[in-house]
Amino acid sequence: AAAPADRARKVVVSLPYDAGGGQASTWTVLDLAADGTPSGPTGAPFTMGRATRGAIAFTPDGEVGLVAQDDGSLGVFRFDGDTPVVVHARFTGSFYAERVVVDPAGDLAYVIDPNWRNNGGGIYRVAIGCDGSLTDLGLWFPTKLAAGLHLRGERAVLVATDVGDSPAGDTVDLLDWTTEPPGLLDGDPLFPDDQAIVAATAMTANGRHVLVGDNSEFSGLPNRVAVAAVAGDAVTTTQVITPVEDPVAIVASPFDDAALVVSGYGDAVFVLDYAPDAATPFTLRGEVSYAGAAPQLPGDAVMIERGGQRGLVLIAELAGVRRMRFGAGATVTDLGLQSTGTGYTAITGAIGVQP
């Protein structure tokens, strides 16, 4: 069952460096009050695998968190009251995990392996036990360069190439999620070339559009964000917004009127205006007006989607967690940075917030 929508929540962050700048596998827990006020860290840090980036996926009750780690394993923890308990420090299945998506039922997770088909790339499934323990169910269906999966009822949007019998060049695919394995309904190329390296994906709250960020450093092309429209059993690319430097994370407003694009190397967060019925629905508004100093090497971002804190975005930054809030009328308010300390040990990596 889903946890109450209005409640205090835990924010979990990886701290992947030790005091000397070497690799570390440390994780910390911050508190978020029911009114959105941050505090912490509270309690002792805990140890799993190392994660320098990524978003933690939670079960609907918020009790179990899963995250893809740098070595391709899954780190899994659960909360015993306020205390994090490591279930699997490094769960190694038949996959190399890049991202993980928890099924809305909470008893299953989909693991994205970004490799080519002939090297194990595809969507894998793991069963989630009541205590958070995982069982590897193996490869569900093969793909190439999978980078994002968004579930929407009986349909799913997968950002990948070579899905089923998809035509060459298609990089976003619409799947029938009711079949075993999912059936391919439609696909389209996201970009007018094959040079993109996908760093981030997001789906709008209404399910009508998917945003995909390309941060390739090798293409000779400006970084950019593609937008694909989903209507019925069709998916069609509608626009490419360029240039957008290093789009490492994208978050769409729950109010369907804006989105945020986090620029890692750009030390910035950009706002996109969203008009769902327009032929080109997204427009680059510009940078957020920051509370204090601009972001420093911002990374992954997660958002609360329910209750009074709906629209509160948490962004992992060089030495802290920045909070921003989507509001009425497509407003975006920067609420400032919650520090994780100083020195190498304060550098953040993966982040997640209980649903």
What tokens were used for 20? 């000397």
* φ and ψ of 21, to 5 deg: 90, 5
Residue 82 and residue 164: Cα distance in Å, rounded? 43
Q: Are 55 and 47 in contact (CB under 8 A)?
A: no
Q: Which residues pair with 135 in a beta bridge?
A: 127
Residue 222: per-residue pLDDT? 96
78-113 pLDDT tens trace: 999 999 999 999 999 999 999 999 999 999 999 999
Residue 131: per-residue pLDDT? 95
Residue 53 and residue 56: Cα distance in Å, rounded? 10
Residue 115 and residue 142: Cα distance in Å, rounded? 10
4-45 pLDDT tens trace: 999 999 999 999 999 999 999 999 999 999 999 999 887 789
Residue 165: per-residue pLDDT? 85
Residue 167 and residue 181: Cα distance in Å, rounded? 18
Reported as a pLDDT band with limits 50, 70 and 90, residue 128 is: very high
pTM score, two decimals? Answer: 0.96
Helix H or strand E encompassing 109: strand 108-113
Q: Are 171 and 210 in contact (CB under 8 A)?
A: no
